[in-house]
Structure 1
């Protein structure tokens, strides 16, 4: 499967979405078109699967980062998660930009909603364990934290962000998210003895 997915990305980058065909993908992967159709009956199904794999990798990176920051102060949580998210999203900017175009062409709303919910769940579980702050409305805070990261990355992936921002993105996004989280938080409750 990886060979087919990698070939899809290669054809997408070389020829663009409009010229991508299952025949070109099969040739690039060194597979027969029949084999490709066995798994993916049409171009849209193949592109959907490639996007699903891409979003899955980002989701895994976010979940692992969030899990590693459980029980830490808020500043460390924000740093760990934001940097892991940016790294996952920018590991291959060309691929990411091409897949943004794919998501815009296909009806990927359910897939994207599932990926966003996965990320918010990981963030909520992490934020609930912060040692130096509590959140009285964790669902809203988690939504805003996630939206700040994804919205900023969307702008970067569309190529509308200034070049300098792309170079300084992890630190800038960390500051943005941490500033919001600090403002949204409250001091932890003291336990009586």
Structure 2
């Protein structure tokens, strides 16, 4: 199964998105088409498996950011989280774009995971009180803001590089956090 999943980015890099077929994937993976179909009934199931693998990688990255930076200020935490997420999404941007198009609901799980990460670092209200309005605003805006901007960075075009676009995302998030 891993050989099949690992073959998709190689096919994409060598031949482009139009050449990502089950036959080409099987050929590059070094397996028979029958073996591929034994594990994946169609190309969509391969994309779904790639999406699940990506989600797990991103969740681990978020968990690392929470473990390493949760004790810092919300701004430092957000910068740490964005840095790791941009790095994860910049590794194979063509593959990520292909999977995002093939699995339209892919951003929902990412937003939910971001929501949970921010809930862990934005102070909870005391028992018997409600969360302050600023916390509600942050928990609404931050997951959406970070999700959209992180997914935009790999498509950065001149004069931006991925690194300069990452810096702009971090500045944007920090600017939002500095607003009352």
Shorter-chain TM-score bucket reads 0.7 to 0.9
Cα distance between partner residues in 1 of 2:56 and 2:76: 24
Task: From 166, 170, 177, give the equivalent of 2:166.
Answer: 170
Q: What SS does structure 2 have at the residue aligned with 1:147?
A: helix
How far, CA to CA, are the matches of 1:50 and 1:168 in structure 2? 28
Residue segments in structure 2 that go unaligned for 5+ positions in a row = 125-130
Instruction: Tell me by how many angstroms 1:165 deviates.
Output: 4.7
Matched, 1:123 2:118: yes
Aligned to 1:150: 147
Root-mean-square deviation over aligned CA pairs: 2.3
How does the TM-score come out when normalised to structure 2? 0.82
* Cα distance in 2 for residues equivalent to 1:156 and 1:39: 33
Matches of 1:83 and 1:107 in 2, distance apart? 24
Q: 1:144 to 1:7 in 2, by over 3 A?
A: same
Name the counterpart of 1:180. 176
- 1:51 match: 51
User: What TM-score does the superposition give when structure 1 sets the normalisation length?
Assistant: 0.77
Contact 1:56–1:115 (CA under 8 A) maintained in structure 2: no
CA contact 1:26–1:33 (8 Å) conserved in 2? yes
**8 Å CA contact 1:69, 1:76 repeated in 2:** yes
Q: Kindly indicate whether the alpha-carbon contact (under 8 Å) linking 1:128 and 1:135 is maintained by their aligned counterparts in 2.
A: no
Are residues 158 and 76 of structure 1, via their aligned partners in 2, closer, same or farther at CA, if it must alter by over 3 Å? closer
Count of residues in correspondence between the two structures: 174
What do residues 120-160 of structure 1 show as CA deviations (whole Å, max 9, x unaligned)?
2112212237xxxx85353541342222222223333334x
CA distance in 1 between counterparts of 2:87 and 2:143 reads 15
Q: Residues 46 and 71 of structure 1: is their aligned pair in 2 closer, same or farther, counting only changes over 3 Å?
A: same
- In structure 1, runs of 5+ residues without a counterpart are 185-193
User: Which of 96, 99, 103 is the aligned partner of 2:100?
Assistant: 103
Alignment match, 1:60: 60
How far does the alpha carbon of each residue in 1:60-80 deviate from its partner, in whole angstroms, 9 at most, with x for none? 212320232223222321221
